[in-house]
A and B are shown apart, each in its own frame.
Chain A
């Protein structure tokens, strides 16, 4: 099957720091890929590049067959313009570690914004869809709450509903439980679990929750120093990792 996300020899540096080195990775439609690895290994950068929040220094990034930063014009590849970027970007959605909800909007307004302003739905349709999505993440009672009135876990669930409302084909989850108090992690993971099991959404989940990665992922990629060291089914990665570096990392995190 044709991959929906494809990276070829992607490089990204911040100043002297090389974050991604000739990164190659593919994700199939409907697949749930968990990305694990030590801090600074380039996991979040992968997501930020896919969301077009950052530009790669070199290499090719394709979403659904379209290169992100290039487009065809007159038979030639030219740098993408804003229109091309928005068309491709619309296929991707992202949930952030720190939620990034819009603090001046109620939960429902947060969720209805993209359907109204991007997908062109009427306010009524957008709000109906918003209520449905907030219901799906268990927050039907919080439609009128402002983000500051919600707990961390509730905020993150609103953020998931908001991202889903834009109808992306690929959802990126950037350490979505790392900023939460331990007792709130479960409610967010439950929503992710439900998404992975009940929908055919393509998901890339950067996470430190090893048990969770093992449980929901179709495939796990272990990142280190800006490349994929090992990329296999959860069973192989967690039970029988092939690389010494993977074994070291898993030993360290599981002992903690």
Chain B
């Protein structure tokens, strides 16, 4: 039934495609982390329109399906003169989508820093930027690691959506192999196995990071 020789033969192609999947995840996560912080800070802005726009954007992105957003960017961006290749469009789509979620994590993290820390920074006459950079974020981010890690894994598992816009990530490659050989069992099983393996690895990585952060905090006690 399961043809091991065939599986072994297609594995190199799938591993190459997995590189695309991992790259999309890494770039997407970097984007999600940066934009999420930007939305979270914008929501805290004293300016009504800025704060309101950020809140509206986050709500909008969270309430619409990722696949719709992927299609929207792929078909609409070229129309407004922004031509990106499918990979970059895909990274932009998952980065934007997950930035809506990470922004909520940042918001909770920042709100978790006691008011006295902000007040001490004001009393030292630190600028808003230095207050965030040196006082608030270093305390807000370590407790955020588990939640951010979960989104990293979720984003990784959402990358097959990019196959919808012709990105040659691992699922798309498996489908092509299937169409050419009329064998779907091996490629799709391998895709599942590869996702499982990498998800477990990243979960372990996050746990390790979390433990290190806990240890580092404990060292100060």
Contacts and interface: CB of A to CB of B under 8 A. Distances in A.
Interface of A: 51-53, 82, 86, 89-90, 92-94, 96, 98, 100-104, 113-114, 117-118, 146-149, 162-163, 166
A48 to B, nearest CB: 8
Nearest to A118: B125
Interface of B: 114, 116-117, 119-120, 122-128, 130, 134-135, 138-139, 219-221
Contacts of B138: 104
Contacts of B219: 146
B126 A114 contact: yes
A98 B116 contact: yes
Given A100-B116, A102-B135, A149-B221, A114 B122 contact: no
Main secondary structure, interface of B, reads helix
Contacts of B135: 102, 113
A101 B120 contact: yes
Contact of B117 (A92, A102, A162, A163): A102
Contacts of A146: 219-221
A94 B123 contact: yes
25 contacts: A51-B122, A51-B123, A52-B122, A53-B119, A82-B128, A96-B116, A100-B114, A100-B116, A100-B120, A101-B120, A104-B138, A104-B220, A113-B134, A113-B135, A114-B124, A114-B126, A118-B125, A118-B126, A118-B127, A146-B219, A146-B221, A148-B220, A148-B221, A162-B124, A166-B125
Given A89-B122, A96-B116, A148-B221, 4 more contacts: A53-B119, A89-B125, A104-B139, A163-B124
Contact of B127 (A51, A86, A162, A163): A86
A100 B137 CA distance: 16
A103 B219 CA distance: 12
A156 to B, nearest CB: 13
A134 B147 CA distance: 39
A102 B125 contact: no
A117 B220 contact: no
Nearest to A82: B128
